[in-house]
Structure 1
Amino acid sequence: MGDEGPGSPVHLLCLAASSGVPLFCRSSSGGAPSRQQLPFSVIGSLNGVHMFGQNLDVQLNSARTEDTTVVWKNFHDSITLIVLSSEEGTSELRLERMLHMVFGAMVLIVGLEELTNIRNVERLKKELRASYCLIDSFLGNSELIGDLTQCVDCVIPPEGSAMQETLSGFAEATGTAFVSLLVSGRVVAATEGWWRLGMPEAVLLPWLVGSLPPQAARDYPVYLPHGSPTVPHRLLTLKLLRGLELCLLCGPRPPLGQLDPQLLERWWQPLLEPLRACLPLGPRALPEGFPLHSDILGLLLLHLELRRCLFTVEPSKDKEPSPEQRRRLLRNFYTLVATNHFPPEPGPAEKQEDTVYPAQTPRACYLVLGPGMGWGNISVSLFIRSQ
């Protein structure tokens, strides 16, 4: 599990499967968006070798060169996604899950019908531009980890029971069962209806809100890749404080104008101080004063049955390694555990990793098994401890 190079490029290609026409190409370098584009001849070769295998009933899923990992994925025999990564220690599992998240993001924005029945390539290209910010966030060094764990990034808020009660009352007052409170793309509290959302929309919706430019309010059309891939819903967002937003998933009602400042003030003004205390939870995830051993530099806690996770690298910020390195170490260790020790998920079995990359800096990591029987009741805690 080596550290990724500071300028290691990642390229994502999206093509129409039947014609091979590129729909978009997104790139990042060192975790930041990049304008670097692959030559058309390279794009054609990568797609051509995949199509050649398909014609011979050979499924080409991945390949490795000396310094690059390539993963192909076809969706609904209509869209082909290809990702190339030169980041050191990149696993095929991570890239496969990235492609699933990217396709989910495409469905979220334009709907499944537009992707499986392509009538006008140029129009589809224009419509997909609205998904670029969300897709680019998967290529970069995000502070979230739900793209890899396929669990919703959460935080532990102060006065959580009071927030939950207020959120439920607000949802009833607005007439929608799907409401959540988000801080920097992480769920602070949510209604039962919101928690019942399927994957990948349960991960994608908070991630989408976190990737959009700040606004006081939004009325955003979205499709649900699992629950409603062909009929759009409305995602309403309301800013309570900078970085802290209410999200409502609804149909034609309520209109955005009905959610006026007086309604927000009536429900949320009494919780102003607890809401302010939530603002640092974006990167930290844990409330101030949470008891944590001083040697723990990073923490990933998963509840696999509820599909929720808590991820932070903020403890002991004055110690090495840096927060960015801690994120990479935890992501790499999670990939190692998920690849070798978690059971295969429903669907095509994921290929086992042949190579285990040793961490450049030794660290202690722990797999903690819960008291329940079976993998469905297991939580995984990954700690990075200082030397």
Structure 2
Amino acid sequence: MSCDSNASDHSLNRLLENVFSTMVLVIGLDDLMNIKNVERLKKDLRACYKLIDSFLTESEKIGDLTQCVDCVISNDSVILQECLDGFTQAAESEFGCLLIGGKVVVATEKWWRLASLDAMLLCWLVSSLSPHSSRDYPVYLPQGSPTVPHRLLTFQLVPGVDVCILCGPSPSLQKVELELVERFWKPVLDPVKSCLRLQLRSFPISLNLHQGILGFLLINRDLNKSLYTVQVHPFEDTQRSDIKCILEHRRASLRSFYTLTMLRYFSPEHHDGKIQYEEAFPEGFTHQAHQCYVVSSSHKCYATKTDLHFLFLLFKTNVPTFSMRAIANKTMQVFTKEFNF
């Protein structure tokens, strides 16, 4: 079951992994493996429905496929990072992040060291829940702690923006909400509100990319975080009456190209013993591909691989094929050098 009628085996297997991991996240591995009361289990699993539904619908995020954390880049990231670090430390935790629509604006160093699947699921969980001023939500980490629960505390700073911390038995939700939230976040309320403008584009409007780029996906392989958008030029897109269908097509094209490229050419090294779903590289080729491209009647795609990043670009058809490599290199440099993504 998927919203994509052309879903590949790889994406369907990712969906199954995400669904099972969601059940572990919400009720724990022990209750799934040792079922004592089927009716009670069915009732408990209802808490998973909204998160699972989010994997089955069109989304402005791509973490369900990449199992990386969706992010945005803010011009105010330095001050927001300082605020988050101080807030998290005061709340007796080392794991915290600032979220906008399920995308990370900034996160603590330890947050980035969570298993990528765990971090991705936590972000998607928060965005799937109904808006609330604060929450104290018990969670299991499917890879990091599948049998021992932690507490996920979330606080809505402004509608659409939440700060989250992962902690143990202390502190209490009331203490953090009454003593810490206003103290740390009220002074930076304007930068927090400005994050709302980043949700669709994922990076500041002041940054201009090549006009031929329709969308892109940039993955940091070390921290397992990603930058993804199909609205690189939002003002241009808003002039079109059929923009909804156009964006759906762009998302489908970029997801399909990512899957094709990762399965056939950029297959990462795996050391966890899991069964993978990569296709064999065509016989006769002994080298490792570092770039690839696809040309169709509706768009062009280009991908490049470095030691630290993957970059996937969706282009307009009028972009010369020979120029895609240079545009990709310049785009990579903008985000990895200027913004240190």
The alignment's TM-score, normalised by the length of structure 1, stands at 0.72
Partner of 1:271: 188
Describe the superposition over 1:239-296 as per-residue Cα deviations: whole angstroms up to 9, x where unpaired: 0011000001011111001023453222112212211110122222111211211221
Distance 1:279 1:182, change over 3 A: same
Partner of 1:383: 314
Contact map agreement 2:218 2:309 (CA 8 A) in 1: no
Q: CA deviation at 1:313?
A: 1.1
Contact map agreement 1:223 1:231 (CA 8 A) in 2: yes
Matched, 1:218 2:154: no
Q: CA deviation at 1:175?
A: 1.1
Contact map agreement 2:69 2:116 (CA 8 A) in 1: no
Counterparts of 1:88-103 in structure 2, within 5 Å, are 88-103=5-20
Unpaired stretches in structure 1, ≥5 consecutive residues: 1-9, 12-30, 32-86
Matched, 1:332 2:268: no
Describe the superposition over 1:314-348 as per-residue Cα deviations: whole angstroms up to 9, x where unpaired: 12324677111111111111011011012263422
RMSD between aligned residues: 2.0
Tell me how far apart the structure 1 counterparts of residues 103 and 297 of structure 2 sit (CA, whole Å): 29
Tell me how far apart the structure 2 counterparts of residues 225 and 236 of structure 1 sit (CA, whole Å): 18
Residue number among 138, 153, 169 corresponding to 2:86 in the alignment? 169
> Match of 1:364, as an amino acid?
K
Residue number among 111, 120, 136 corresponding to 1:194 in the alignment? 111
Residue number among 351, 366, 385 corresponding to 2:302 in the alignment? 366
Between structures 1 and 2, the one with greater helix share:
2
Partner of 1:151: 68
Partner of 1:54: none
Where 2:58 maps in the other structure, the secondary structure is: coil
Distance 1:238 1:349, change over 3 A: closer
Q: CA deviation at 1:214?
A: 0.4
> Match of 1:217, as an amino acid?
S
Q: CA deviation at 1:138?
A: 0.7
Unpaired stretches in structure 2, ≥5 consecutive residues: 282-293, 319-341
> Match of 1:352, as an amino acid?
E
Where 2:267 maps in the other structure, the secondary structure is: coil
Distance 1:349 1:174, change over 3 A: closer
Provide runs of 4+ in structure 1 moved above 6 Å: none
Tell me how far apart the structure 1 counterparts of residues 30 and 200 of structure 2 sit (CA, whole Å): 37
Contact map agreement 1:158 1:277 (CA 8 A) in 2: no
Counterparts of 1:194-343 in structure 2, within 5 Å, are 194-261=111-178, 263-316=180-233, 317=237, 318=239, 322-343=246-267
Tell me how far apart the structure 2 counterparts of residues 245 and 91 of structure 1 sit (CA, whole Å): 34
Partner of 1:6: none
Q: CA deviation at 1:362?
A: 3.0
Tell me how far apart the structure 1 counterparts of residues 295 and 37 of structure 2 sit (CA, whole Å): 48
Describe the superposition over 1:115-170 as per-residue Cα deviations: whole angstroms up to 9, x where unpaired: 11112111111110100000111111121101101111010012111111111111
Identical aligned pairs, as a percentage?
47
Residue number among 339, 349, 352 corresponding to 2:276 in the alignment? 349
Q: CA deviation at 1:351?
A: 4.9
Q: CA deviation at 1:207?
A: 0.3
Distance 1:126 1:386, change over 3 A: same
Distance 1:239 1:269, change over 3 A: same
Q: CA deviation at 1:385?
A: 2.7
Tell me how far apart the structure 2 counterparts of residues 340 and 166 of structure 1 sit (CA, whole Å): 42
What is the number of residues matched between the two proteins? Answer: 296
Contact map agreement 1:92 1:353 (CA 8 A) in 2: no
Distance 1:279 1:94, change over 3 A: same
